[in-house]
Amino acid sequence: MSRAAIRYAKAVLDLSKDNGTIEAVLNDMKSVTATLEESKGLRNALSSPIIKADDKRAVLRQVFTDGTKETLGLIDVLVDNKRADLLGGVAQSFITEYNKANKIEAATVTTAVALTPELETKVLAKVTELTGSTNVTLTNVIDESIIGGFVLRVGDTQYNASIASQLSKLKREFSNSL
């Protein structure tokens, strides 16, 4: 994250706290993050110097019509300051700052197939055990290239129990033995 994105995120976080709309803005920021991840065209449009600021504003307001006044204000400020390309970073920084402020531990588990509810409960229990935090959000990323098993990332710690990782390790051991 850029320092500018973090500053914008903290400003929106403070404003939404003051206005009592922090949960609604959090939902907006999650929506912004998901939308930008899914739309390469939108990301390219925001970073393009050829597209006029008013056009960027119009597109963003159409995409995020249900946004809170804080989110729409953020869009306006970013566009006015020629920083529309920071929107995704600001949204991610907002979520990170919100999690820090509320002592929420974010975990990502990558699996070859979607987690079942029972397995999700077990993973949450393991994350709680590892972090000591009872307030955990879990994101499941599906990546068929890991073949099986899982990769768990909590903060800066990663636990790789994927079959692809184990096969790679075995391959290295065989290469070193020859």
* DSSP codes joined into one string, 25-39: HHHHHHHHHHHHHH-
**Structural fold of domain 3-100:** Peroxidase; domain 1 (1.10.520)
Instruction: Show the tokens assigned to 61.
Output: 């307001």
CB 64 within 8 A of CB 72: yes
Helices (H) and strands (E) in the chain, counts: 8, 4
Question: Above 80 in pLDDT, residue 155?
Answer: no
Taking Cα atoms as reference points, which of 139, 144, 160 lies closest to residue 112? 144
pLDDT at position 13: 95
pLDDT at position 100: 86
Q: How many Å apart are CA 32 and CA 93, to the nearest integer?
A: 12
136, β-bridge pairs: 105
pLDDT at position 126: 81
pLDDT at position 149: 80
Helix or strand or coil: residue 9? helix
Q: How many Å apart are CA 108 and CA 120, to the nearest integer?
A: 11
Instruction: Show the tokens assigned to 162.
Output: 């994927």
State pLDDT tens for residues 117-147: 888 888 888 888 877 777 888 888 888 888 8
pLDDT band per the 50, 70, 90 thresholds, residue 103: confident
Q: Residues of CATH 1.10.520.20 domain(s) within the chain?
A: 3-100
State pLDDT tens for residues 73-92: 999 999 999 999 999 999 99
Q: How many Å apart are CA 164 and CA 144, to the nearest integer?
A: 10
State pLDDT tens for residues 16-68: 999 999 999 999 999 999 999 999 999 999 999 999 999 999 999 999 989 99
pLDDT band per the 50, 70, 90 thresholds, residue 98: very high
Question: Above 80 in pLDDT, residue 1?
Answer: no
Q: How many Å apart are CA 57 and CA 1, to the nearest integer?
A: 22
Instruction: Show the tokens assigned to 141.
Output: 């990323």
